[in-house]
Amino acid sequence: MSVRLNRRTVTIPLGMAVASALAFLPNVASATEAGPQVAAAQSISAAADGDALSYVVNVRPGHSSAAVQKAIGKAGGSVVIAYDQIGVIVVHSSNADFAKEIREDQGVESAGSTRTAPLSPQRTTEMWAPEVLTDAEMQAAAEAAAPGQDALQGLQWDLPMIKADKAHEVTLGSSKVTVGVIDTGVDDTHPDLAPNFNRAASVNCVSGKPNTADGAWRPNKGESAHGTHVAGEIAAAKNGIGVVGVAPGVKVSGIKVSTPGGWFYTEAVVCGFVWAAEHGVDVTNNSYYTDPWQFNCGDDLDQKALVEAVSRATKYAENKGTVNVAAAGNDNWDLAGKSILDVVSPNDGTAGKRVIDPKKCLDIPAQLPGVVTVASVGAKGIKSSFSNYGQGIIDVAAPGGDSTRYQAPDAPAVDGRIYSTLPGGGYGYMAGTSMASPHVAGVAALIKSTHPDARPNQVKALLAQGADKKECTDPYDINGDGKIDAVCQGGEGKNAFYGAGIVNALNAVTK
């Protein structure tokens, strides 16, 4: 079993209790108990002169980007790329006081370091790995497939939960619609993804600057399978083999923003949204939070700048017609609560402890205005044990899986997690809000296929209107130990666990 804290995926073996996987994660209760005596982790610009860091500099509206770039040079910075469309400049500097100095320029609204680790050397970290079936298990699943199903579709309990199988009888989605997977990279050579892959809308944004070299969007050997798994959930082809995506007739593109070590830094995320906006991407899926801060607080000048940069990028994409969908996170936190204990930030250096107010400190991009924030449910249709929640925060819910011990699927499915594509032509299980978000992105793609002229606000409205309304699960004792594991607020169709409800693919193509 492995859990990667700064991603939206938890990998849990069949039958393993999720509680044990998350036992060491901070929760709202412990944050409250910790109180104000817990010291807050602080941003740093650079350990010392000579340690180059990456920065974003946000140009004040109405001011000249060219003038700000001159000031950047005088402050010891070098411009990597200027996104003048949104007034965000990506900069490298080894001047420890660069951020402080550039903030004094009248043309700069905000500026901050995007990381605490130096640009070089590249840090690496152990990545979580999906669990795969044996050849015998895959053969058994294929033999049990119902007529008209792809070979391994019987393992996908998530499709009938959101009526995607019924939606496919109406339409598989339009090939004119593209979903951009902003993630760890997508293996477009996978036989279930190759038929639906949009190469022209794919890119490597890891440096903060678009790299369009052929295949640059793919995960390299040893890198995470996460993005490929997400892509399969959205648009694995209905071609008789393997699995089927929620919208198997639409296109997917790979927008790689994760470093080899697994970090999603601001400059890469900004690049990803701008790329999507300018390359015809109709929907983006974002199953991550922007490193290195699990939450970005406005009273920290570095973190404030990161929020501003990513916010400008998401708004730009939405104004260009893109619907942005994001995972809510896997800590079983109430994102509308009074306090949260963050013990993993900054996750690329020495983490500290800080009690944050989730109303003032944001998980980005999930909590940015306009972004569809997605919670996860398991095979029994109740909140996954790990899923974050929050009244007024969660827009909709979708299948993301859970421990089979807590929420076992009906036969022929055998595992409570989500089964999808892996690099190299394989298939495997993952669970998390990372897996819930692409289900919503797929349904959004079906809406866009059915209503090609719909603007993002209309697509989002249809997502909510078409969702299956669901009341709060009360009491919520997921592991049956007699203790309440989370408290839901709100009524049917607008509550902390499920938002407007569980998305419905059939409604997306018929209403």
Span 367-411, pLDDT tens digits: 999 999 999 999 999 999 999 999 999 999 999 999 999 999 999
In a domain, 43, yes or no: no
Domain count, the chain: 2
pLDDT of residue 505: 98
Residues 85 and 193 in one domain: no
pLDDT of residue 122: 54
pLDDT of residue 11: 53
Residues 86 and 184 in one domain: no
pLDDT of residue 231: 98
The answer to whether residue 10 scores a pLDDT higher than 70 is no
List the CATH number of the domain containing 76: 3.30.70.80
List the CATH number of the domain containing 257: 3.40.50.200
Q: Which amino acid is at 145?
A: A
Chosen domain end from 113, 146, 161: 113
pLDDT of residue 145: 82
Q: 79-117 pLDDT, tens per residue? A: 999 999 999 999 999 999 999 999 999 999 999 999 999
Residues 93 and 163 in one domain: no
What is the mean predicted confidence (pLDDT) over 424-449?
A: 97
**Cα separations in angstroms, 360 against 332, 340, 389:** 19, 11, 16
Chosen domain end from 113, 135, 161: 113
Chosen domain end from 63, 89, 113: 113
pLDDT of residue 325: 98
Return mean pLDDT, the chain: 90
Residues 24, 7: Cα–Cα separation, whole Å: 16
Residues 168 and 60 in one domain: no
Residues 179 and 293 in one domain: yes
Residues 267 and 232 in one domain: yes
Residues 148 and 205 in one domain: yes
In a domain, 141, yes or no: yes
pLDDT of residue 14: 37
Residue 107: left if φ>0, alpha if ψ -120 to 50, beta else—which one? alpha
Could you tell me which of 293, 433, 426, 296 has the C-alpha nearest to residue 357? 296
In a domain, 119, yes or no: no
Could you tell me which of 127, 227, 233 has the C-alpha nearest to residue 186? 227
pLDDT of residue 53: 95
The answer to whether residue 15 scores a pLDDT higher than 60 is no
Residues 157 and 193 in one domain: yes
| Omega of the bond leading into 365 within 30 degrees of 0 (cis) | yes
In a domain, 42, yes or no: no
Residues 245, 231: Cα–Cα separation, whole Å: 8
The answer to whether residue 24 scores a pLDDT higher than 50 is no
Could you give the 3-state DSSP secondary structure of residue 327? strand
pLDDT of residue 41: 40
The answer to whether residue 2 scores a pLDDT higher than 90 is no
The answer to whether residue 447 scores a pLDDT higher than 60 is yes
pLDDT of residue 35: 29
In terms of DSSP H, where are the helices of 330-454? 433-450
- The answer to which of 127-136, 344-353, 414-423 has the lowest mean pLDDT is 127-136
In a domain, 47, yes or no: no
Exposure class string for 247-260: b at 16+ Cβ within 10 A, else e: bbbbbbbbbbbbbb
| List of residues 6+ apart from 25 with CB closer than 8 A | 3, 5, 331, 332
Local structure of residue 16 (DSSP, 8 states): -
The answer to whether residue 139 scores a pLDDT higher than 60 is yes
Residues 203 and 75 in one domain: no
Residues 256 and 384 in one domain: yes
pLDDT of residue 37: 29
Domain that holds residue 67: 53-113
pLDDT of residue 129: 64
What's the pLDDT band for 32 if we cut at 50, 70, 90?
very low
- The answer to which of 28-32, 72-76, 124-128 has the lowest mean pLDDT is 28-32
Could you tell me which of 296, 229, 190, 159 has the C-alpha nearest to residue 432? 229
In a domain, 377, yes or no: yes
In a domain, 439, yes or no: yes
Dihedral over alpha carbons 386, 463, 444, 449 (to 10 degrees): 160
pLDDT of residue 131: 75
In a domain, 48, yes or no: no
Q: Which amino acid is at 460?
A: K
Residues 69 and 189 in one domain: no
Residues 287 and 235 in one domain: yes
